[in-house]
Amino acid sequence: MTRRPTLKVLAALPALALVLAGCGDSDSSGSGGGPELVNDGQLTNCTGLPYKPFEYEEDGKVIGFDIDLVDLVAKELKVKQEVIDTPFDGIQSGADFNSGKCDISSAGMTITDKRKQNIDFSDPYFDATQALVAKKGSGIKDITGLSGKKLGVQNSTTGYDYANEKAKGAEIINFEDLGLMLNAVESGQVDAAINDNGVLYDWVKDKTDFEVVKEFDTGEQYGMGIRKGNKALMDVVNKVLADVKSSGDYDKIYEKWFGTKPAAG
C-alpha cells in the first residue's frame, strides 16, 4: 500500500473511552524496564492514509479501527499515540523502523512471508480477503473476465500481487494509494479495482452506484508491524490484543467501525 510521498505527522484521537479490563499499568518509554520508544512519551505509529475504516483523517484527526487498537497499546504504556502518514514501502521494507521513524505500524497490513523478512508481526488481529469492486450494471462478475478491460490496483499490496497472477488479459493500472484507486473507479478511468474487502465494502456504503461483485478466498490476516527483534514492545502489543479479545472489547471496537460483530471462530 504505497502512499503519498510527503511525510505528515498527525495527531490521533485520544484513547477510547472504553474501560478495558485487560489493559493495566506498565512502564513507558523504556523507563523501569519497559519498551524503548523512539520518542519519549509517545508511541509513534507509521501508517498510510486513507485506508478507511482502518485509518483515515476526519476533521483534522486520524481515526479508525487500527487507530483505536494502537490507542490501547499506548494506554498500556502510559503514553500517547502519534500517527505518521508515510509511504507504505518504507514500512514493509523495515526502513522506517530501522531509521527510528516509528515504533509500530498498524496499517491494514497483511502478514506475509516476504514482509516477515524485514519486520516482525504481532499476533493476527483481523481477517481479510481480496475483493473486486465495479459499477453496478457493468456486467463484471469476476477477475478472470477482465480481458481487455482496465483493472485498478494499489501498489505494493497483496491485491496488486493477486491481480498480476489472476487477471489475465487485463490492463493493470497501478495507483499509489487507495483513495486514488477508488477515484479512478468512480470516474471510469478503470473498469474495476481490487483491494481488501473491508475497505471496499466501506466505500460502497456511500457510493451506491458501485458494488463489491466478488470476494476471493485469499485467507489473509492483518498484523501490527514492529522492528525486528523488538521483543519488549512485541510482548506488550500481543498482551493488549489478547486482553482486548478476551474481555469482549475487541467486538465493541469492531462493531463501531464495521457495523457488525466479527464472525465467530
- How many residues are present in the chain? 265
Same domain, 160 and 254: no
Same domain, 54 and 183: no
Helices (H), the chain: 65-77, 88-92, 95-98, 113-116, 158-166, 178-187, 197-206, 231-247, 249-258
| Beta strand spans in 101-235 (E) | 104-105, 119-121, 126-135, 150-154, 171-175, 192-196, 210-222, 225-227
Same domain, 163 and 231: no
Q: What per-residue confidence (pLDDT) applies to 173?
A: 98
Mean of pLDDT values over 136-141: 96
Mean of pLDDT values over 19-32: 41
Class of residue 209 by CB neighbours under 10 A (exposed 0-12, middle 13-18, buried 19+): exposed
pLDDT in tens, 111-133: 999 999 999 999 999 999 999 99
Same domain, 77 and 200: no
Domain-embedded: residue 43: yes
Report residue 82 as a C-alpha cell: 502519534
Q: What percent of the chain has pLDDT over 90?
A: 81
What Cα–Cα distance (Å) separates residue 205 from each residue in 28, 56, 219? 40, 16, 24
Q: What per-residue confidence (pLDDT) applies to 26?
A: 38
Same domain, 119 and 165: no
Q: What per-residue confidence (pLDDT) applies to 14?
A: 45
Query: What is the pairing mode between strands 80-85 and 8-11?
Result: antiparallel
Type of residue numbered 254:
Y
Residues 265 and 254: their CA atoms lie apart, in Å, by 15
Same domain, 89 and 141: no
Same domain, 95 and 140: no
Q: What per-residue confidence (pLDDT) applies to 156?
A: 85
Same domain, 115 and 75: yes
Same domain, 161 and 253: no
Domain-embedded: residue 48: yes
Domain-embedded: residue 98: yes
Q: How many domains does the chain have?
A: 2
Domain-embedded: residue 264: no
Domain-embedded: residue 2: no
Same domain, 101 and 147: no
Domain-embedded: residue 1: no
Residues 12 and 26: their CA atoms lie apart, in Å, by 21
Strand (E) or helix (H) holding 81: strand 80-85
Q: Would you say the pTM of this structure is higher than 0.85?
A: no
Domain-embedded: residue 265: no
End-to-end CA distance of the chain: 28
The CATH number of whichever domain residue 195 belongs to comes to: 3.40.190.10
Same domain, 78 and 101: yes
Mean of pLDDT values over 165-184: 95
Number of Cβ within 10 Å of residue 142's Cβ equals 13
**Do the beta carbons of residue 52 and residue 202 sit within 8 Å?**
yes
Confidence bin at 12 (pLDDT 50/70/90):
low
Q: Determine the structural domain holding residue 190 and report its residue range.
A: 128-220
Residues 160 and 67: their CA atoms lie apart, in Å, by 24
Q: What per-residue confidence (pLDDT) applies to 19?
A: 36
Same domain, 99 and 156: no
Question: At a CB cut-off of 8 Å and minimum separation 6, what does 58 contact?
Answer: none
